[in-house]
Chains A and B, each alone.
Chain A
């Protein structure tokens, strides 16, 4: 079980990093909404899944957090990408692209067809 969560967390953290890189500092709720939106509502994220990913990234120093005020004047904790995070995003994006490319080659139409 634990292994699967790690894999899931791995992709989730990539999504978090990417989202933060695109839209700038964001609070947890906004992040969850945004990720769902981008996935075309294919993913349904509850906070219990998102929060551990955020915590892990923070512990690794990829993101930092501080309390701020949201658009509609609510107190909220904002997450921001760090330099380390940006590098991590670049590397992970590359890795991910490589991986999907390889997997795609396996799953693509066979040449002898």
Chain B
């Protein structure tokens, strides 16, 4: 309390300095007078009386100083003085200061943005109560990579629920989608939806804000159809009208009663899910208890005090029992693994985010080193000023403090501008980054501001301390004696700058190598041949579901009519239908046997990706026919026991025989399966650009089996601008069924572009950071050498006067400047070799030690550094020796 009061008084005194100075003078005067009076009374002469009184009083100035130190807050005053002084110094060189602030702002801004994104996406807990208890559970087989697993079969899930005691609850969900009919003047549309076991929301710990959650009575085959809406869908389609509760919506032609609306912040697993329906209503009855169909994602909530490892062991044991029970008769998983739900949601972006953060921190470091470098250069020119101040009694500490203030001021400016940049940068990052999970909740918060302050202070100290130590150290006398003839007199300062530069170059090299690798990997990815035509091909998805499309004839009828109409549109070269085009994902697979081959070893299972095609599909996409034939118009409805396979399937399963005429047995209608005769072999296509080729099999889509033939992609090729065909085709579809939505109208190029968007994004960002670093390093190099040349002008003059050739001088200085760059290059290369392993998971078809990238980086760096050094070196070589010697 006393201390506080004192601080307050001191603060007040700091402000009203002048008034209290006068007060003190008055008091001193009055005391002096009283003393003189006393002395006079003691019998002294007036002169003696005054002299004695003055002696007794002590030096008036010392008293004043002592009082001033005590009265106000001297450190505050000194700080204010330092601040004013620093501001004045900086304003004297506005160009330098603005550049320095800008460079720091970019470094700080980028770091803060990345930190904000990482904090909100990777570190912030999920918005559920006790979210640390939530785990994602997957099943595993012998082929699973350690730490990863597969989607869970519904039968497995229900068995787990019974066997596991470590979880309060366990829920399952999967993606689905609905055609929603036009209603109340709204257009028909396709909805992304989820289907979940009744307890998903209670497992996550949330409940609807309106209405009720699903109950066990909603979640069994044959229950009344119910749906829960997401907040955004409720807002968008129903305009917040609570009357929708208890009413029905028509999905895939069926009526669903709306029973609840989820909170607006609920975005699991992704914001684009618009509504939820109960699991057993949506999943076909045949696979409700299946142990073969791996389709669900499982979320569990651990009981209090139970460790995830213990809980999953029980599940894993239960799964192993199932595996043993089936004894290899079907694709049954062997064990189970769990990982924290947060990790499950954001695991994929972890590495790219941390790589980006590392890159911006490198950039910030380089910016600090550069600022440090510039300050060293400046402090060198101010060495005499410092020496004079030392001679006049300034303490070393106060000199260091003063220089630190300067760099802190620059960094503070940079920090403030950086915070603005960070706001913009964060927004840009979260909107540009396709499929960044949890991107909806990212914004600058107090943590980010605190982080900004922290790195600003760190950068300020880092940038200011080195130059401050380097100038204030050493002998003041030698600095005062130093004159322009003092050749090499500031060698220590120069070596400090060179050391800083070496560090800058080394960091730049690491950044350049990383950027180069990412970029090369991206180019590889772009260059991947999908195995089909991608130019001028348009695709659009539609789903034939509900009552109108419950019979094969209805589906086949729709498809044939559509194809017929579309093929007659002007501009259409060819049109076909499939379930999923190359590059658009794996979709799903089926197990098959080859009846002509000896029976498989129990436990061994063959899978091929499941595709459908009409007779023209392959020629539309120009997928080459290798053997046999495509489907014909005859392969439709019941006459559908034919299959086309890709080369990869032949390579794996018919290595030395003619596959045509052989059969694939696939069990999806009866447990024993049906034979499908192989009629053709087509060229390999990739299901995703960055994944290896897998065996594939196509079945006739014109079989029209609901479920198997319902998911359709219309593929249209044109000679020119194919996008202009989108509207005419949609009109054709609307003329068949006005209540029928189409989604994902994309060209093949867009589909490929989507899958390379993120690598391209990361590569571009890191490349721009690396470019910026290179620029900073080059500017630093240029600065150091220019300074050196000025310093050594007299020396160069003497050398030339003694007969040195101009190109000798040029070489001398060039080498001098390049030496730190070369050392930095070597260090950076060594660091890169050690570090690039860490980004292996981000690289496609590119080794972390890719020679081309390393060589390119070396060349780029050497060229930039030479260019940066050449200008000052050339200037040195042009020095007129006479001028140089007179320049003193």
Q: Which residues does A use to contact B, with CB under 8 Å? A: 27-30, 33, 46-49, 51-52, 55-56, 58-61, 70, 72, 74-77
Q: Is the CB of A28 within 8 A of B58?
A: no
Which residues on the B side are within 8 Å of A49 (C-beta)?
Answer: 58
Q: Which of B61-69, B145-153, B158-166, B212-220 contacts A (4 or more CB under 8 A)?
A: B61-69
**Contact pick for B34, options A55, A60, A74, CB 8 Å:** A74
Q: Is the CB of B30 within 8 A of A56?
A: no
Q: Is the CB of B37 within 8 A of A51?
A: no
Contacts known (A48-B57, A52-B70, A61-B2); A27 close to B63, Cβ less than 8 A: no
Q: Which residues does B use to contact A, with CB under 8 Å? A: 2, 5-6, 9-10, 24, 26-28, 30-31, 33-35, 37-38, 56-59, 62-63, 66-67, 70-71
Contacts known (A48-B59, A52-B66, A77-B27); A59 close to B34, Cβ less than 8 A: no
Closest chain B residue to A76, Cβ basis: B30
Q: Is the CB of A74 within 8 A of B30?
A: yes
Those 5 A-B pairs whose CB atoms lie nearest each other, nearest first = A48-B58, A46-B58, A48-B63, A59-B9, A59-B6
A60 vs B34: C-alpha distance when bound (angstroms) = 27
Contacts known (A28-B27, A28-B31); A55 close to B71, Cβ less than 8 A: yes
Q: Return 8 A-B CB contacts under 8 Å, by A number.
A: A27-B31, A27-B34, A46-B57, A49-B58, A55-B71, A72-B37, A74-B37, A75-B26
**Contact pick for B57, options A47, A59, A75, A77, CB 8 Å:** A47
Which residues on the B side are within 8 Å of A77 (C-beta)?
Answer: 26-27, 30
Q: Is the CB of B30 within 8 A of A75?
A: yes
Which residues on the B side are within 8 Å of A33 (C-beta)?
Answer: 38
Q: Is the CB of B70 within 8 A of A47?
A: no
B743 to chain A, nearest CB (A): 76
Binding site secondary structure of chain B:
helix
A30 to chain B, nearest CB (A): 8
Which residues on the A side are within 8 Å of B59 (C-beta)?
Answer: 48
**Contact pick for B58, options A47, A55, A59, CB 8 Å:** A47
A103 to chain B, nearest CB (A): 25
Which residues on the A side are within 8 Å of B58 (C-beta)?
Answer: 46-49
Closest chain A residue to B7, Cβ basis: A59
A60 vs B63: C-alpha distance when bound (angstroms) = 20
Contacts known (A55-B71, A56-B70, A59-B6); A48 close to B62, Cβ less than 8 A: yes
A76 to chain B, nearest CB (A): 5
Q: Is the CB of B66 within 8 A of A59?
A: no
Which residues on the B side are within 8 Å of A30 (C-beta)?
Answer: 34
Which residues on the B side are within 8 Å of A46 (C-beta)?
Answer: 56-58
Which residues on the B side are within 8 Å of A48 (C-beta)?
Answer: 57-59, 62-63, 66
A77 vs B24: C-alpha distance when bound (angstroms) = 10
A55 vs B70: C-alpha distance when bound (angstroms) = 8
Which residues on the A side are within 8 Å of B66 (C-beta)?
Answer: 48, 51-52
**Contact pick for B33, options A28, A47, A74, CB 8 Å:** A74
Contacts known (A48-B57, A52-B70); A29 close to B35, Cβ less than 8 A: yes
Closest chain A residue to B23, Cβ basis: A77
Q: Is the CB of A70 within 8 A of B34?
A: yes
Q: Is the CB of A60 within 8 A of B6?
A: yes
Closest chain B residue to A48, Cβ basis: B58
A64 vs B31: C-alpha distance when bound (angstroms) = 18
**Contact pick for B31, options A29, A52, A61, CB 8 Å:** A29
A30 vs B2: C-alpha distance when bound (angstroms) = 27
A65 vs B608: C-alpha distance when bound (angstroms) = 97
Q: Is the CB of B67 within 8 A of A55?
A: yes
A7 to chain B, nearest CB (A): 15
Which residues on the A side are within 8 Å of B26 (C-beta)?
Answer: 75, 77
Q: Is the CB of A76 within 8 A of B70?
A: no
A49 vs B57: C-alpha distance when bound (angstroms) = 9
A49 vs B67: C-alpha distance when bound (angstroms) = 9
Which residues on the A side are within 8 Å of B38 (C-beta)?
Answer: 33
Q: Is the CB of A59 within 8 A of B5?
A: yes
B212 to chain A, nearest CB (A): 65
Which residues on the A side are within 8 Å of B27 (C-beta)?
Answer: 28, 76-77
Contacts known (A51-B67, A60-B2); A29 close to B34, Cβ less than 8 A: yes
Which residues on the A side are within 8 Å of B33 (C-beta)?
Answer: 74
Closest chain B residue to A44, Cβ basis: B56
Closest chain B residue to A71, Cβ basis: B34
A29 vs B34: C-alpha distance when bound (angstroms) = 7
Closest chain B residue to A72, Cβ basis: B37
A47 vs B70: C-alpha distance when bound (angstroms) = 14
**Contact pick for A27, options B30, B57, B70, B71, CB 8 Å:** B30
**Contact pick for B10, options A28, A52, A59, CB 8 Å:** A59
A49 vs B66: C-alpha distance when bound (angstroms) = 9
Q: Is the CB of A47 within 8 A of B5?
A: no
A70 vs B70: C-alpha distance when bound (angstroms) = 27
Which residues on the A side are within 8 Å of B37 (C-beta)?
Answer: 72, 74
B781 to chain A, nearest CB (A): 47
Which residues on the A side are within 8 Å of B30 (C-beta)?
Answer: 27, 29, 70, 74-77
A58 vs B33: C-alpha distance when bound (angstroms) = 23
B33 to chain A, nearest CB (A): 5
Which residues on the B side are within 8 Å of A28 (C-beta)?
Answer: 27, 31
Which residues on the A side are within 8 Å of B35 (C-beta)?
Answer: 29
A49 vs B62: C-alpha distance when bound (angstroms) = 10
Extra A-B contacts (18), CB below 8 Å, given A47-B28, A55-B71: A29-B31, A47-B58, A48-B57, A48-B59, A51-B63, A56-B6, A59-B10, A59-B71, A70-B30, A70-B34, A74-B30, A74-B33, A74-B34, A74-B37, A75-B26, A76-B31, A76-B34, A77-B30
